[in-house]
Amino acid sequence: MIEKKKINQPVFPFTAIVGQEEMKLALQLNVIDPKIGGVMIMGDRGTGKSTTIRAIADLLPEIEVIKDDPFNSSPEDNPNSEIAKIKTPMIDLPLGATEDRVCGTIDIEKALTDGVKAFEPGLLAKANRGILYVDEVNLLDDHLVDILLDSAASGINTVEREGISIRHPARFVLVGSGNPEEGELRPQLLDRFGMHAVIKTVKDPKLRVKVVEERTLFDADPQFWISKYNDEQENLKNRIVEARKLISKVKISDDFKLKISQVCSELDVDGLRGDIVTNRASKAYAAFQKRQEVTFEDIEKVITLCLRHRLRKDPLETIDSGDKVQKVFEKIFDK
């Protein structure tokens, strides 16, 4: 039997991606603080959604894991274990995936006959401490979307079969993407994504030419093109690492917290997720800017990404949901 060699395909550098600032910012903030709750990216076909998501995963530093551990567990969980370094996991969830493929399976026969919990890990186990990417998430079965969101929120995956239960860590950044022409997610599922980025096709002819040129040059000589961006990639990677360390020290004033909640209230946002995510994202952005105090500008930068998908849909409304968030923000914050 011929053993297939895994080919590592070159990944387009994150810092070489032109435009699409909303999507790039949302991804950066989620890898700085995964508790923001992931990001839903909606946009036209051919706008570089998949390229950008793979690029942010490739940019991230390696992580230390317990060698041969199926869940990428941290050495801190078992200090006496042998340590290995791996790239930050980036797992693609195929559209036709079954619940067993996603969550993992328990071999009931082995469990009953041998008395051991024979567990075959699924994609959630492989994605632990990394990124789980679901393209066309709006076409995925609602039940599976629910499972993904539950695991992303709790950091735990539980598999139960015939009275046997297995739990394992499943802490990952959930990234979903889709084309609005193919339908939206149900509002109650959409609300559970921390941020929502809207991606549009670039209209400026000069910018379009630049995008085409960058991609053509990358395809012609990937390694040379990647080496051109080495310094920028390294600088951004260091900024993300430093922001992760700094974020626990970042403070947000009571006045800003109150105003964020006033914006959510005026926009009639259900529940408190909008308030919580906006606070978290503002802190992550402040940390990314190497500051320990959240400013007005930090909140302004993230609030639309955090709230636009939580607004109730009104078919008669003419104003875009993002513009509506911005308008109420400016009113409450006296801009």
- Annotate the chain with three-state secondary structure: CCCCCCCCCCCCCHHHCCCCHHHHHHHHHHHHCHHHCCEEEEECCCCCHHHHHHHHHHHCCCEEEECCCCCCCCHHHCCCCCEEEECCCEEECCCCCCHHHHHEEECHHHHHHHCCCCEEECHHHHHCCEEEEEECHHHCCHHHHHHHHHHHHHCEEEEEECCEEEEEECCEEEEEEECHHHCCCCHHHHCCCCEEEEECCCCCHHHHHHHHHHHHHHHHCHHHHHHHCHHHHHHHHHHHHHHHHHHHHCECCHHHHHHHHHHHHHCCCCCCHHHHHHHHHHHHHHHHCCCCECCHHHHHHHHHHHHHHHCCCCCCCCCCHHHHHHHHHHHHCCC
Q: Are 18 and 207 in contact (CB under 8 A)?
A: yes
190 and 50 in a single domain? The answer is yes
Backbone dihedral angles phi then psi of residue 45, each to the nearest 5 degrees: -65, 150
- Which one of 54, 171, 273, 308 is the catalytic residue? 273
19 and 150 in a single domain? The answer is yes
183 and 288 in a single domain? The answer is no
50 and 113 in a single domain? The answer is yes
How many separate domains does the chain show?
A: 2
284 and 193 in a single domain? The answer is no
34 and 153 in a single domain? The answer is yes
In a domain, residue 68? The reply is yes
* In the predicted structure, residue 131 carries a pLDDT above the cut 50: yes
In a domain, residue 193? The reply is yes
In a domain, residue 7? The reply is no
- Short-list 230, 121, 136, CA closest to 175: 136
**Could you give the CA distance from residue 290 to residue 111 in angstroms, rounded to a whole number?**
51
280 in active site: no
pLDDT tens column, 133-167? 998 888 888 888 888 888 888 899 988 877 778 88
In a domain, residue 224? The reply is no
pLDDT (0 to 100) of residue 206: 84
Q: What percent of the chain has pLDDT over 70?
A: 93
pTM: 0.89
pLDDT tens column, 59-105? 998 999 999 888 998 888 888 889 999 999 999 998 888 888 999 88
Residues 49-59 have a mean pLDDT of: 89
In a domain, residue 124? The reply is yes
pLDDT tens column, 175-234? 998 888 877 777 777 888 999 998 887 777 888 888 888 888 888 888 988 899 999 999
End of a domain among 143, 173, 199? 199
Using 50, 70 and 90 to split pLDDT, how confident is the model at 1?
very low
* In the predicted structure, residue 46 carries a pLDDT above the cut 80: no
CATH at residue 280: 1.10.8.80
177 and 121 in a single domain? The answer is yes
**Could you give the CA distance from residue 110 to residue 187 in angstroms, rounded to a whole number?**
41
CATH at residue 100: 3.40.50.300
End of a domain among 165, 199, 233? 199
159 and 272 in a single domain? The answer is no
Q: What angle do CA 315, 316, 321 make, to 5 degrees?
A: 70
61 and 117 in a single domain? The answer is yes
Owning domain of residue 157: 14-199
User: Which residues does 4 contact at the CB level (< 8 Å), separation at least 6?
Assistant: none
End of a domain among 199, 221, 256? 199
151 and 275 in a single domain? The answer is no
Q: What angle do CA 246, 251, 253 make, to 5 degrees?
A: 160
In a domain, residue 119? The reply is yes
175 and 259 in a single domain? The answer is no
